[in-house]
Amino acid sequence: MYNRRVVVTGIGTVCCNGVGKEIFWKTLKEGVSNIDKISSFDAKSFYSQISGEARDFKPTDYIDFKEAKRMDRFNQFAIACTKLAVEDAKLTITDEISSSVGVLVGSCFGGLSTLIHQTEKFHRGGSSKISPFFIPMLIANMVPGQISISFNARGPNYSIVSACATGAHCIGRSYDLIKRGVVDIMITGGTDAVIIPLIVAGFGNMKALSSRNDEPKKACRPFDKRRDGFIIAEGSAILIVEALDSALSRGANIYGEIIGFGMNADGHHITAPDPEGAGIQKAMRLALKDAGIKAENVDYINAHGTSTPYNDRIETYAIKKVFGDYAYKLAVSSNKSMLGHTLGASGALEFAATLLTLKENIIPPTINYEEPDPDCDLDYVPNKAREQKVDIAMCNSFGFGGANGILIGKKYIS
């Protein structure tokens, strides 16, 4: 059962550009961004006043009203995305196969908005005011727990928390579980919903966020010389990752094949990447080794590309060290230029986009790329999508604490 081929058969997404993979992919191809002024609270006094809010999301479109009231927003996102992904995969989880279907979904912050709200209630009215659903609404692993309950998935069930590498790590470990024969199907991805004053203030006071408040849609500009920070955003992506033999047995649509995964730690700093990207380089090499391919086999890199001064320069440097002269022949782009940074969901959303690139041979652009940076001198597919054959693509994710996760996808050929 070892070394089984692993494919993706379903995609469900929520982000600032809308709900569902159709609008997600359409807006990415068109270079559209719905990043705008924060509407969920008064941010006029904040260092950064802009975000990528999922304004079109209505939880009761996907979840019973009573159940939705008992979930934090991050959990609502993931349940909705799971419903979309399961429908997309045309997957029916019967009792016969339920033990071979696992769930691995992570979140960077979990139900932090619930924690803040319940804390305020406690200080105003004492312990009797705390909701009996407070703990289930708070803890991150309640997402896979509720997915398991709602969709009859009774295989491995847990969460990973690794900052902004969370989504990639969840997908990568799901790939490993299927590859080794532990399960046949995994419901996997990431979710986060923390466009709240405390988090926006925290990231802002670190000077990690963009302060280009007068130009929200131009604020996120990965690899551009005038980049000044990332844009906080919310969202989720859930993928149905499946053994190839399982997918073929039920005639499932296949978006692409997962062929490689690499993960490690910088071991350098709590927030800053290693100045030479040593950990990033090693993680990319681990993924290439796992895939059994050479660097020159990769056609496209979906970069982490946060629009922060350090990340973009160091990621570019690491790519050049791993790919050598071939780096200049690679297409590299950042979905965050349009989606903002969805934290624990980012790796999952970006790998969903990577799979759609493999399926349709269209590379989404890096928008707002206006002034080249001498330290960022690769082909970032500036401002306009590109039709190009893509057989193999790499997707990079990095997180605070030095967490690195690299996924490699391949066009599926029967």
pLDDT digits (tens, 9 = 90+) for 332-350: 999 999 999 999 999 999 9
Name the β-bridge partners of 334: none
261 and 394 in contact (C-beta within 8 Å)?
no
> How does pLDDT run across 184-218, given as a tens digit for each residue?
999 999 999 999 999 999 999 999 999 999 999 99
User: Which tokens hold the place of 140?
Assistant: 């991150």
If pLDDT is split at 50, 70 and 90, which confidence band does 329 have? very high
Assigned domain for 372 exists: yes
d(CA 308, CA 170): 24
How confident is residue 414, by pLDDT bands cut at 50, 70 and 90?
Answer: confident
- Which residue, 249, 269, 292, sits at the end of a domain? 249
In-domain check, residue 28:
yes
Q: What would the pLDDT profile of 349-386 be if each residue is shown by its tens digit? A: 999 999 999 999 999 999 999 999 999 999 999 999 99
Distance CA 34, CA 54 (A): 9
Both 387 and 265 in one domain: the answer is yes
Task: Identify whether residues 114 and 221 lie together within a single domain.
Answer: yes
> In terms of domains, do 128 and 239 share one?
yes
Cβ atoms < 10 Å from Cβ of 371: 9
Query: For position 237, which CATH number holds?
Result: 3.40.47.10
Whether the Cβ atoms of residue 78 and residue 142 lie closer than 8 Å to each other: no
Q: Tell me, what's the pLDDT at 38?
A: 98
CA separation for the pair 170, 32 (Å, rounded): 28
Four-residue CA torsion sign, 124, 127, 130, 135? positive
With a cut of 80, say whether residue 133 has pLDDT above it.
yes
Task: Give residue 52's pLDDT.
Answer: 98
Report yes or no: 364 and 239 within 8 Å, Cβ to Cβ: no
Burial tier of 99 (Cβ tally within 10 Å: 0-12, 13-18, 19+): middle
User: Residue 207's closest CA among 77, 125, 309, 317?
Assistant: 309
Q: Are 211 and 288 in the same domain?
A: no
149 part of a folded domain: yes
pLDDT at 399 over 70: yes
Looking at residue 215, its pLDDT comes to: 97
Catalytic-role residue among 16, 108, 170, 341: 341
Judgement on whether residues 57 and 150 belong to the same structural domain of the protein: yes
Mean pLDDT, the chain, whole residue set: 97
In a domain, 254, yes or no: no
Q: What is the rounded distance in angstroms from the CA atom of residue 324 to the CA atom of residue 369? A: 24
**Are residues 228 and 115 both part of a single domain?**
yes
Question: What pLDDT, on a 0 to 100 scale, did the predictor assign at position 332?
Answer: 98
Tell me, yes or no, whether 291 and 153 share the same domain: no
- Mean pLDDT across 281-305: 98
Tokens 């960022």 label which residue?
Answer: 376
Examine residue 1 and state whether it is found in any structural domain, yes or no: no
pTM confidence score: 0.98
DSSP character for 364?
A: P
Give the CA dihedral 77, 82, 85, 91, nearest 10 degrees: -170
In a domain, 74, yes or no: yes
How confident is the model at residue 230, as a pLDDT? 98
pLDDT at 26: 98
Sequence-distant (6+) residues with CB within 8 A of 127 are: none
Annotation says 341 is catalytic: yes
The total of structural domains in the chain comes to 2
User: Does some domain include residue 72?
Assistant: yes
pLDDT in tens, 110-124: 999 999 999 999 999
Confidence at residue 170, expressed as pLDDT on a 0 to 100 scale: 98
Output the pLDDT for position 272.
86
Tokens of 297: 């086999």
Residue that finishes a domain, picked among 249, 279, 295: 249
Please say which residue of 214, 249, 284 terminates a domain.
249
Specify the pLDDT at position 273. 86
- 289 and 228 together in one domain: no
Check 108, 170, 304, 395 and give the catalytic one.
304
3-state secondary structure of 209: strand
In a domain, 281, yes or no: yes
32 and 168 housed in the same domain: yes
Q: Does residue 2 register a pLDDT over 90?
A: no
The whole-angstrom separation of Cα 97 and Cα 287 is 30
Task: Look at residue 239 and give its three-state secondary structure.
Answer: strand
314 shares a domain with 184? no
Main-chain phi, psi angles of 124, to 5 degrees: -80, -40
What is the band of 1 on the pLDDT scale with cuts at 50, 70, 90? low
Percent of the chain with pLDDT over 70: 100
Contacts of 284 (CB under 8 A, 6+ apart): 262, 318, 319, 322, 394, 396, 406
Query: Which residues on adjacent β-strands are paired with residue 302?
Result: 333, 395
The label of the residue with tokens 């312990």 reads: 127
- Confidence check: pLDDT of 396 > 80: yes
Known catalytic residue: 123?
A: no
The pLDDT of residue 126 is above 90: yes
**Helix axis angle, 112-125 to 197-205, nearest 10°:** 120
Token duo for residue 68? 């939705």
For the segment 213-237, what is each residue's pLDDT rounded down to a tens digit? 999 999 999 999 999 999 999 999 9
The domain in which residue 128 lies consists of: 6-249
Q: Is 240 found in the same domain as 171?
A: yes
Task: Say yes or no: 226 and 305 in one domain.
Answer: no
- Residues 294, 284: contact at Cβ < 8 Å? no
Catalytic residue among 16, 164, 170, 376: 164
Q: Is residue 304 among the annotated active site residues?
A: yes
Sorted by sequence, the CB contacts under 8 Å of residue 184 that are 6+ apart come out as 97, 100, 101, 178, 242, 243, 246
